[in-house]
Amino acid sequence: MSIYQPISPERPDVLRAKHFYGIWFGAALGFAFSLFAWGVDAYSLGHMNSLHPWLKFVGGAIPCILIGALAGWISARVGKPTIAVVIWAVAALSFAWLTVMLPLQIVPRLLGLIEPQIQGLLHYEYYPGFSSRIGVAFVWVGIFVAIAGLLQLPLSDSAVFSTSFLGKLSPMLVGLFLMAISGTIIDGLNNELLRSPIDSLNSTIQFAVDHRGQQVDLVESRSMHQGALRVVQDSITPERKLIVSGYDEYLSEVNVLVKFKNDWVECEVFYNQPLNCEKVMPTP
């Protein structure tokens, strides 16, 4: 008669499975965070005639996936929840740094490589107040990432010993849910402040396109900020692409660069209200 022997959690094959699961757990968390921190923003910008709307998401997803995979692997190797929390706190700090630096510093450099003709038109400065933005982002990201890091080891134990695909996937869903909340909060911290001016200006331009050659009520014209387009009327075309070209320290005054068929136009938007536009150079 054989006696059942429980599987030792210290067996080499079990440890390898935990390490491998830790990599996938961390990578999935990094991707989920990126999806809600920048993917939703990219999807929205894609419907606003934005220039290269997915650049921010791609630029954030790759490092977040790699950082998450590394944090998950190290946590699994260490095997202690308290240390795993510290490891994931470092990952959270990296995520928080990216949430501020990616849209305000990294993306313009990537744009300069993709669109060399606008390198001199992008005025992205780093203000001292951005450090506090990183701190606020770290608090929000850190809370949810720390919880996910604390849960990684107990969740991975049940997943590794599960014989079904659903059993291996289910523990990961808890972490993905936490990252979805964190990413959504981060989207409102920076992305929304840069997305809204594009949305507002795009609506103003669309109104001008839709009513070109028509008599428009003065009140309605003012409400749609048509005065901002007065000096660039001959440049406006239905085909256009918009991108933020500059901002103030509080992201309340944002400059938006518009690529029309024949001209590049820059517009000043103050608290989502287009103020004025001017032609800056012809498109090549």
Q: What is the mean pLDDT of each run of 10 residues along the chain (284 residues)?
A: 48 78 92 96 95 94 96 92 91 94 88 85 86 91 89 80 70 87 90 95 96 90 94 95 93 95 95 95 80
Bridge partners (DSSP) listed for residue 226:
none
pLDDT at 10: 62
- What distance, in Å, lies between the first and last C-alpha atoms of the chain? 83
Sequence-ordered list of residues with C-beta below 8 angstroms from that of 24, at least 6 positions apart, any chain:
69, 72, 172
Contact predicate 12/51, CB 8 Å? no
| pTM given for the model | 0.88
Query: Is the Cα dihedral 175, 180, 183, 184 positive or negative?
Result: negative
pLDDT at 1: 42
DSSP secondary structure code for residue 123 in this structure = B
pLDDT at 166: 73
Q: Is 265 helix (H, G, I), strand (E, B) or coil?
A: strand
Residue 228: alpha-carbon gap to chain centroid = 29
In the chain, % helix, strand, coil (3-state, to 5) comes to 70, 10, 20
pLDDT at 163: 66
Tokens representing 125 are 């400065």
Q: Is 274 helix (H, G, I), strand (E, B) or coil?
A: strand
The span from the CA of 242 to the CA of 24, in Å, is: 36
The span from the CA of 129 to the CA of 123, in Å, is: 17
pLDDT at 4: 41
The identity of residue 143, as a single letter, is: I
Task: Report the relative pairing of strands 253-259 and 241-247 from DSSP bridges.
Answer: antiparallel
pLDDT at 2: 47
Query: Is the Cα dihedral 155, 141, 16, 11 positive or negative?
Result: negative
pLDDT at 3: 46
The identity of residue 141, as a single letter, is: V
